[in-house]
């Protein structure tokens, strides 16, 4: 199973266009600090790929990943479709950029809650439909299903929270369908598994079970500690109050990752996170516990 990390930043990217915090200023002064919005490419078969989430950077992410480049001829793209972990704008705005998909349409895997929010609140079908059909598939939960009939990778979703995007806070949603999921990706030949969870407001038992069995775990590293948003002045709420479990501190995700046998990495870094600076001492603290920070362009082969 081959995974390509396309981006590792939280909303706004690093640097964020309207911010001059140390992280953003550092990224302007040192281009190697820069991070695009968190996204992942999954190789479904030899020449077919799926993207996890469609960020505002999707065009640049595709151009920076040669495996995703179109093949010789007219619009012969290896991109088979999109997998959505939630309905947040940072993970869905890139759908509009793919409107050139043509008559064959664009395949999207999502939960019912995410699909309904995008169709009824963002009117995605009305806006994108005239350009290309949107072909929806429900993300499987009870048992993994192949990404495609002959795909080497199977996928299943793990509900992790009911956090809704701001534009859908008053939406009833379809029953108890989850708004935010983690993804479990399984190599059908070897049984190797990866768990990708870029947004975590909670750590349910099902997620713990999945990461315990996984070979690679990539999770939400938005904030270093719970007080970071308040300390840096970006919010009056804590990290958990904003829907993100912090990395450090009692109950932080580092405590949960350190005992795992899997290769563990953080993604979805906010511009206020000290990990934005490659020389920050927090990197060594994580490394001492066997935990990494994912980088844009990183290739993971399981």
Write down the domain spans for the chain.
Answer: 2-301
Q: pLDDT 10s per residue in the chain (302 long)?
A: 999 999 999 999 999 999 999 999 999 999 999 999 999 999 999 889 999 999 999 999 999 999 999 988 777 899 999 999 999 999 999 999 999 998 889 999 999 999 999 999 999 999 999 999 999 999 999 889 999 988 999 999 999 999 999 999 987 755 667 899 999 999 999 999 999 999 999 999 999 999 999 999 999 999 999 999 999 999 999 999 999 999 999 889 999 999 999 999 999 999 999 999 999 999 999 999 999 999 999 999 99
The third-level CATH classification (topology) of the domain covering 2-301 is Metallo-beta-lactamase; Chain A (3.60.15)
Q: Please state whether the predicted TM-score (pTM) of the whole model is above 0.85.
A: yes
Cβ neighbours around 219 below 10 Å, total: 28
């Amino acid at each position: 199973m081959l995974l390509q990390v396309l981006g590792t930043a939280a909303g706004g990217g690093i640097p964020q266009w309207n911010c001059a915090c140390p992280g953003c200023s550092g990224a302007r002064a040192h281009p190697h600090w820069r991070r695009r919005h968190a996204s992942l490419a999954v190789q479904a078969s030899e020449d077919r790929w799926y993207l996890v989430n469609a960020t505002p950077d999707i065009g640049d992410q595709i151009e920076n990943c040669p495996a995703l480049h179109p093949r010789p001829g007219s619009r012969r793209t290896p991109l088979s479709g999109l997998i959505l972990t939630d309905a947040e704008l940072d993970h869905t705005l890139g759908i509009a950029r793919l409107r050139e998909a043509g008559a064959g349409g664009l395949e999207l895997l999502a939960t019912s809650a995410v699909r309904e929010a995008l169709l009824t609140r963002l009117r995605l079908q009305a806006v994108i439909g005239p350009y290309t059909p949107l072909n929806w598939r429900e993300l499987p939960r009870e048992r993994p299903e192949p990404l495609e009939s002959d795909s080497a990778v199977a996928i299943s979703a793990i509900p992790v929270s009911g956090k809704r995007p701001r534009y859908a806070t008053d939406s009833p949603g379809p029953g108890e369908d989850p708004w935010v999921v983690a993804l479990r990706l399984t190599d059908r030949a070897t049984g190797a598994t990866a768990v990708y969870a870029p947004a975590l407001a909670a750590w349910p038992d099902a997620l713990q079970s999945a990461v315990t069995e996984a070979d690679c775990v990539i999770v939400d590293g938005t904030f270093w500690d719970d007080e970071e948003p308040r300390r840096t002045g970006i919010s009056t709420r804590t990290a958990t109050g904003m829907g993100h479990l912090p990395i450090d501190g009692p109950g932080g995700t580092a405590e949960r990752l350190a005992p795992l046998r899997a290769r563990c990495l953080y993604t979805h870094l906010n511009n206020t996170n000290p990990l934005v600076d490659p020389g920050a001492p927090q990197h060594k603290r994580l490394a001492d516990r066997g935990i990494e920070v994912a980088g844009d362009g990183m290739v993971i082969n399981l």
